[in-house]
Amino acid sequence: MSFIVKRLLWSIPTILAIVIVGFVLLVYTPGDPVKTVLNLSDQEDPLKPVSPHIEKQKKEWEDKLGLNLPIFYFTIQSSVLPDTLYKITDKKEKETIRSLCLSTGQTNMVMDLRRGIKEFKLTWAGEVKNLTPLEKDSLSKEMAEISHNIQLLTYETNKIKIHEYIENLTILTHSNFFSRSHGIMVGMEKEINLRSRPGLEVFAPTIRFNAKSRFHQWLLGDGKYSKGIIRGDFGISYVSKEPIRNHIYKNLFWSVLFSGLGILLAYLISIPVGILSAGINNTIVEKLITVLLFALYAIPVFFMGTLLQTYLANDQYLHVFEPTGIKPVRGFDPDANLIERWIVQLRYMILPIVCFTYASIAFLSRLTKTSMLETFNHPYMMTAKAKGLPYWKILLKHSFRNALIPLITVFANVFPVLVGGSVIIESIFTIPGMGTEMFSSYFSDNIPMIIGIFTLTGIFTVAGFLISDILYVIVDPRIRK
Amino acid sequence: MIKKPNSLWSVKLDWYSQAAIFCLVLIILTGTCSNWIATSKPLYIKNNQNVYFPAFNNKKSYEFTTEQLGKKTYNVENMDWVKLDQTKKVFAPIPYDPGRSDMAFANYKSPYTSFSEAERPFQFVHWLGTNLKGEDLLSGIIHGTSVSLKIGFFSIFIALLIGIFLGTIAGYYQNDTWKVPLFSFILMLMTIIPGVYLADLFSFFAIERFDWKNTGILIGKIFIYIGTLTFILLFSHLTGKLIHKMFRFNKRVYLPIDTLVSRMIEIFSSIPKLMLIVALAAILDRSVTNVIIIIGISSWAGIARLIRGETLKLRNQDFITSAKALGLTNFKIIRRHLLPNISGPIMVSFVFGVSAAILIESGLSFLNIGVPENVITWGQLLADGKNNFNAWWLIVFPGFAIFITVLCLNILGEKFKSLLDPVNRGIN
């Protein structure tokens, strides 16, 4: 009993570590989450300043995603960086400010530069708005140049180039139409001088402790927008803008169904095969089975899936099964009863289940065989033979029971597959499970979903290890100390 | 020379292991020479008494003299070598580039029909057919070999480096060998966070100074982090020792290396491998180097566990004890006595690891994750076949290439494993 309790206690730091890894991956993802959520383009047109409506939405999402909070319970950063750096949600902007501050050591000047650029954009856009169409036509070349220069200046980190762009802009805006923005640029050219190298003060840290942090919100919730992982809330999906847990519970069913059936079948088939090939060891039939299983194990699952889909679910060759999906696109026949529906659905389910099963069969039956062959050397087998027991009884009662332990250990590895499904198989056969969700999230940059599935499968793997350890103790009393 | 009895090299192999080794050598040769086996550039060209070897160098443009056009500069990117007159040419065995469309053979030409359709020399047959854009499949498979092998070998090399390092120190030192002064221990614990802080700053300045913006930014960062942390820990260890000597405070504690490494192994093996790889791939840029690093850092845990176990078995054996009694340092014992004795399991895990890494890489590129789209891989070629089920050759041949490679590696791994088993060795 104390073994199980100890094991349970040890799994807590492991789960915490997995959660932290997930959080680190979430925080260090490049790109601006708010822009991904609101479908805003990365390149802003300086002529079209962001509308107040979108600004409001941005603020709202920053609150929801906890982006305006510091990352961890304490912050340790260089003293030349501004204190409120974490409040900037745009990762590119944040990176630019950090890089400029560290490479010049002049925080105030960098902040002045950022403010100046922002102000210039607004002023210039206002001045362009006031122009008449005729003036716009005559100034179009200059306007394009200015727009190009300001876009380059926005995220530039090279000091020499920044001065170059500011100079360019000063010259380009030197006309009566852009007098106010010209004034801003002249001011910036005079005041801002980034050409110095920083001193050793860059390495001096400032340490702050934060009552509210993103990690706290992610782990324990903030009582307003998120409940925290501890209560099963993995955040908000960037694509559907719904809580991730709704998606996960929908998808979990199909993943568990397919991989559960696959694993069950694999155990049901491979154990008899393993016992059989251990029983008839060193015969031609056994060697054939071994070679076949060995070859099966080396076939990549996507190759097998595509082959099955091509030759057994295709009008060109044989159309026995359905290639994709889990049920007819047009829905079931309304008159059909439950059993008929099941038969229709079986045509969709057999190929994925075969894909889930074949590699495990090869692996598990080899494992069964080798661990049974190991028991043959023990004296109790000799005793059983000497007693005159029938061969099959020796195999099943004496050998197989002692060969069970490795099979149980392997069961721990089965657990995460059960939950996470298989990214490859599910996306080949378009099963709406966790694997497909992961796959589509990869392409839509839906990072919270990826991290959510990652964390969940990690937690379930720890649970699987725990269960297998407990089973291990039950089967083999020698371990209990 | 005295032959070592029962050594791995003195064993006679079965015919199928020999066949597997032969196939693997062939695959590795194909992979390393892919740029010269399958390329549209001629291997040898003679024009106007000048001799060139275009396939063996990266020259961007050539100057050739022909009767019709006279002297003219040709750009390698878009030139048709076949139409060049008045020259002696020797083409590569497969005279097509991967991913370069051949309009005469576009729209899924199968391996056999393409032979009679266009009037070309015998050598210019698309042996394994083409895809929609008329890209040669065989050339793609040959170039895919090099990518797969590169990713397989280098990623497992990274995993082995981490695994051997952590596995041996955990197995050898355990929790009761490395005694440090209490001050050192406390200082080490205290300086980890400042170490990370400094490493972050150092990596920023290094990237700024050496302009690593595009290439190797991840590798550079990893090295700077490891270097800085090692330096800081060493520094705090030495400082602790100094304090210890100055104040004669005799308290010493054992470093719990084994517990630390075992926890790390458990955490890493608790994270499903494919999920970790997809999550990392979503965060990092798409490049072959990043795929190598991702696969490497997500598959060291199994290797480390195996090596820790093997080291534990050897740790209390007589030859290690006598080496200690001779006064050898721990490092020397690990290098000279421990590592040679666990080279067998290392080799087995290397072979199986490469096969697993090749499977993961081709699975990822089948899903169009990880490896960039302009790099041609087996998985990508196979995924191309899903667009048209009539084009069976696009599915069968790349799949077969993966299957053969993985099968050969698995046969070799099994053979090594059974050779290492003392029961089997005794019979031989």
Instruction: Tell me whether residues B267 and A14 touch, CB distance under 8 A.
Output: yes
Residue by residue, pLDDT tens for chain B (428 residues) are 455 555 556 667 888 899 999 999 999 999 999 989 988 888 888 887 888 888 888 888 888 877 777 787 888 777 777 777 767 788 888 888 888 887 777 778 777 665 555 566 777 778 888 888 888 899 999 999 999 999 999 999 999 999 999 999 999 998 988 888 888 999 999 999 999 999 999 988 888 877 665 556 788 888 999 999 999 999 999 999 898 888 877 788 898 999 999 999 988 888 888 888 988 988 888 889 999 999 999 999 999 999 999 999 999 899 999 999 999 999 999 999 999 999 989 999 999 999 999 999 999 999 998 899 889 999 999 998 888 888 889 999 999 999 999 999 999 999 888 888 766 554 43
DSSP reduced 3-state for B331? helix
CB A45: neighbour CB atoms within 10 A?
11
For residue A282, with 0-12 CB atoms within 10 Å meaning exposed, 13-18 middle and 19 or more buried, which class applies?
exposed
Domain extents in chain B: 1-40+92-178+256-428, 179-254
Contacts of A76 in chain B (CB under 8 A): 193-194, 197
Contacts of B403 in chain A (CB under 8 A): 298-300, 303
Read off the tokens for B177: 């060998």
Question: Cα–Cα–Cα angle for A404, B350, A463, nearest 5°?
Answer: 40
Q: Which of B365, B385, B112, B129 is nearest to A311 (CA)?
A: B385
Contacts of A314 in chain B (CB under 8 A): 389
By the CB < 8 Å criterion, does B192 face chain A? no
In this structure, what are the phi and psi dihedrals at residue A27, rounded to the nearest 5 degrees?
-75, -40
Q: What is the pLDDT of residue A333?
A: 76
By the CB < 8 Å criterion, does A302 face chain B? yes
CB–CB of A454/A276 below 8 Å? no
Q: What's the full length of chain A, in residues? A: 481
Read off the tokens for A316: 């060109």
CA pair distance B208, B205, nearest whole angstrom: 5
Q: Which of A300, A423, A422, A443 is nearest to B378 (CA)?
A: A300
CB–CB of B293/B285 below 8 Å? no
First to last CA, chain A: 10
Cα distances (angstroms) measured from residue A470 to each of A7, A246, A418? 9, 32, 19
For residue B35, with 0-12 CB atoms within 10 Å meaning exposed, 13-18 middle and 19 or more buried, which class applies?
middle
Instruction: Closest CB to B270: pick one of A18, A76, A78.
Output: A18
By the CB < 8 Å criterion, does B370 face chain A? no
Q: What is the pLDDT of residue A173?
A: 85
- pLDDT tens per residue, range A139-197: 888 888 888 888 888 888 888 889 899 988 888 888 878 888 888 888 888 888 887 78
Q: What is the pLDDT of residue B2?
A: 52
CA pair distance B14, B5, nearest whole angstrom: 19
Q: How confident is the model at residue A135 (pLDDT cuts 50, 70, 90)?
A: confident
CA pair distance A179, A173, nearest whole angstrom: 7
- If you classify domain B1-40+92-178+256-428 with CATH, what class do you get? mainly alpha
By the CB < 8 Å criterion, does A205 face chain B? yes
**Amino acid at site A127:** E
By the CB < 8 Å criterion, does B276 face chain A? yes
What pTM, to 2 d.p., does this model score?
Answer: 0.89
Instruction: Closest CB to A76: pick one of B197, B367, B369.
Output: B197
- Name residue, tokens 């394009």: A144
CB–CB of B273/B300 below 8 Å? no
The yes/no answer to whether this complex scores an ipTM above 0.90 is no
By the CB < 8 Å criterion, does B386 face chain A? yes
CB–CB of B52/B63 below 8 Å? no
Instruction: Tell me whether residues B282 and A29 touch, CB distance under 8 A.
Output: yes
For residue A224, with 0-12 CB atoms within 10 Å meaning exposed, 13-18 middle and 19 or more buried, which class applies?
exposed
DSSP reduced 3-state for B61? strand
DSSP reduced 3-state for A212? coil
Question: What is the four-CA torsion angle of A66, A67, A68, A70, rounded to 10 degrees?
Answer: 90
Residue ranges of domains in chain A, CATH in brackets: 32-65+74-209 (no CATH), 244-480 (1.10.3720.10)
**Amino acid at site B347:** M
Instruction: Write the DSSP string, B376-403.
Output: --HHHHHHHHTT-TT-HHHHHHHHHHHH
Closest Cα in chain A to B16: A291
Instruction: Closest CB to A310: pick one of B379, B389, B414.
Output: B389
- Mutation for testing the A interface, residue in B232, B275, B424 having most A CBs under 10 Å: B275
- pLDDT tens per residue, range A83-121: 888 888 888 888 899 989 998 888 889 999 999 988 888
By the CB < 8 Å criterion, does B190 face chain A? no
The residues, ordered by sequence, that sit 6+ positions from B309 with a Cβ below 8 Å of its Cβ are: B171
Closest Cα in chain B to A313: B389
pLDDT at residue A49 tops 70:
no
Q: What is the pLDDT of residue A43?
A: 65
The residues, ordered by sequence, that sit 6+ positions from B104 with a Cβ below 8 Å of its Cβ are: B117, B118, B134
By the CB < 8 Å criterion, does B411 face chain A? yes
pLDDT at residue A124 tops 80:
yes
How would you classify residue B94: left for phi > 0, otherwise alpha for psi between -120 and 50, otherwise beta? beta
| pLDDT higher at B409 or A34 | B409
CB–CB of B355/B407 below 8 Å? no
DSSP reduced 3-state for A336? coil
| pLDDT higher at B7 or A276 | A276
CB–CB of B65/B48 below 8 Å? yes
Q: What is the pLDDT of residue B214?
A: 59
CA pair distance A479, A461, nearest whole angstrom: 22
Each as own residue / partner, the long-range contacts of residues A41-50 (CB below 8 Å, 24 or more positions apart, any chain) are A42/A92, A43/A151, A44/A151, A44/A154, A45/A147, A46/A121, A46/A124, A46/A125, A46/A146, A46/A147, A46/A150, A46/A151, A47/A125, A47/A128, A47/A147, A48/A125, A49/A121, A49/A122, A49/A125
CA pair distance A350, A76, nearest whole angstrom: 55
By the CB < 8 Å criterion, does B193 face chain A? yes
